Amino acid sequence: MWRLGRSWDLEHVLAETWFASRPFSHLVIDDFAPNEVLADLLAVVDEEPVDRRESDLFAFDATAPEPTTSELRALRDQFAATLAPALTRITGKLVTRVDMRAYAYRPGHYLLPHSDHQDGLHRVLAYAYYLPSPEPPVGGELELFRCRLENGAIAATDCAQLIEPRANRLVVFDVSDVSLHQVREVTAGLRISLAGWFHA
Amino acid sequence: MTRLEELFAPRIAVIVPDAIGSALAADLRARFERTGYTRYTLLDRGSYDELRDPGELEPMAALIAVTTEITERSLVLAEARVLQLVPGDYLLAHHDRVHDEHHIELILDLSPALVPNAAVHYRRDGDVYFEVPSRPCALSIVAREPSVTCNHVYVSKLHLDARVVRLVLLLRDA
């Protein structure tokens, strides 16, 4: 179902955008999947069981870390096969495989600021792909923070970029100690996404 | 305390409802407002207003006396601070410090009204073992151990007028 559109032909332009973007490297690609496959994508996600997930950092509904249906596994593997080679060339970071979970943020759901970086997990790039919602969300923006470091620790943070969870938009961003980001609380509607990390 | 002693030590975690009256809670809130809060903004750890060392407060002696009776330990005040959380605020568990002094932690809920889901969670190995729900004028008493962390749950923007005020006291053995 995944197919790279025309904007991916100009990889040098995407690479320039990647390296120039602030507060840390990221790409925002609109109209990522062909319109004719959106209904099929939603159908695959719809078949996957979701549970409420909660910690001090987040509250949302999500599928299990490993897909339970062969359809979502195939979607994930095809996503990696389609995107990983291009992202390796664009970002200069070798990526091959990818995680994929489906997320549903309903009113009151959030993901508080964190960096995604954890020793031993080898997450290289993070991504979120927003699916069309029967009730587009209010809130649920991806917020990227600028961090000031002192002696290797975060000493100041402020909002640098807000990315709307627009349907059929793909966001890819770098994972590091300072890739601080959050999903703002959804206050109405439903935010549906596929998200995870590219690994080496 | 050794690890074995810690395993078998009584784990105190109780809530005393209506520990103070709502008029005193309102007086204390007004006093803290006058003194002034400092905003904490390292967002990877927390987002909240803080007032460190609020000074001698009327209910402190009574709260310590109640706790001494419940814990059967002779306790004195080690630290006091006030936290205020408004919609969008939180305090994450990894922002909590390690308590290897076996303090008793008191949280007096001074909020003007109940705030849905605005709880305090005490966790062991990441799992919540004791929840202190939003309940104005209630007092929670929890024995802090090195393996216990605490977080103040995110205050939802669905409740625009929400205001959570908590007096946090740490007591040590006299």
8 Å CB contact of B92 and A56: yes
**Count of domains for chain B:** 1
Of A31-35, A112-116, B9-13, least confident by mean pLDDT is B9-13
Asked if residue B74 is part of any domain, the answer here is yes
The pTM for the full model equals 0.93
Q: Kindly state the average pLDDT of the residues A57-75.
A: 96
In CATH, what number is assigned to the domain containing residue B123? 2.60.120.620
Is the CB of residue A71 less than 8 Å from the CB of residue A44? yes
Asked if residue B135 is part of any domain, the answer here is yes
Domain residue spans of chain A: 6-199
Query: Which of A54, A55, A56 has the highest number of chain B CBs within 10 A, making it the mutation to test binding with B?
Result: A56
Return the percentage of chain A with pLDDT > 90, whole number.
88
| Secondary structure, 3-state, chain A | CCCCCHHHHCHHHHHHHHHHCCCCCEEEECCCCCHHHHHHHHHHHHHCCCEEEECCCEEEEECCCCCCCHHHHHHHHHHHHHHHHHHHHHHCCCCCEECCEEEEECCCCEEEEECECCCCCCEEEEEEEECCCCCCCEECCEEEEEEEEECCEEEEEEEEEEECCCCCEEEEEECECCCCEEECCEEECCEEEEEEEEEC
8 Å CB contact of A108 and B117: yes
The predicted-structure confidence for A20-49, as pLDDT tens digits, reads as follows: 999 999 999 999 999 999 999 999 999 999
Asked if residue B5 is part of any domain, the answer here is no
Which residue of B lies nearest to A139 if distances are taken between CA atoms?
B157
Cβ-in-10-Å burial (0-12, 13-18, 19+) of A24 comes to: buried
CA dihedral A9, A14, A15, A19 (to 10 degrees): 180
**What pLDDT score does A119 carry?**
81
8 Å CB contact of A56 and B42: no
Whether A112 has its CB under 8 Å from any CB of chain B: the answer is yes
Taking only residues 56 to 95 of chain A, the set having a beta carbon closer than 8 angstroms to any beta carbon of chain B reads: 56-57, 59
Query: Which of B48, B125, B157, B160 has the highest number of chain A CBs within 10 A, making it the mutation to test binding with A?
Result: B157
The whole-angstrom distance between B86's CA and the closest CA on chain A is 14
The whole-angstrom distance between B124's CA and the closest CA on chain A is 13
The predicted-structure confidence for A117-171, as pLDDT tens digits, reads as follows: 888 888 999 999 999 999 999 999 999 999 998 888 888 999 999 999 999 999 9
**What pLDDT score does A5 carry?**
83
Contacts of B43 in chain A (CB under 8 A): 112-113, 145, 157, 180, 182
Asked if residue B155 is part of any domain, the answer here is yes
Of A84-88, A95-99, B57-61, B161-165, least confident by mean pLDDT is B57-61
Which residue of B lies nearest to A109 if distances are taken between CA atoms?
B156
Instruction: Name which of A59, A112, A156 is nearest B92 (Cβ-Cβ).
Output: A112
Q: Kindly state the average pLDDT of the residues B74-90.
A: 97
Instruction: Give the CATH number of domain A6-199.
Output: 2.60.120.620
Contacts of B117 in chain A (CB under 8 A): 108
Kindly give, in sequence order, each residue whose CB lies less than 8 Å from that of residue B17, ignoring residues fewer than 6 positions away.
B135, B137, B138
Which residues span the domain enclosing B21? 11-173
Helix (H, G, I), strand (E, B) or coil at B14: strand
8 Å CB contact of A108 and B158: yes
Asked if residue B2 is part of any domain, the answer here is no
pLDDT higher than threshold 90 for residue B168: yes
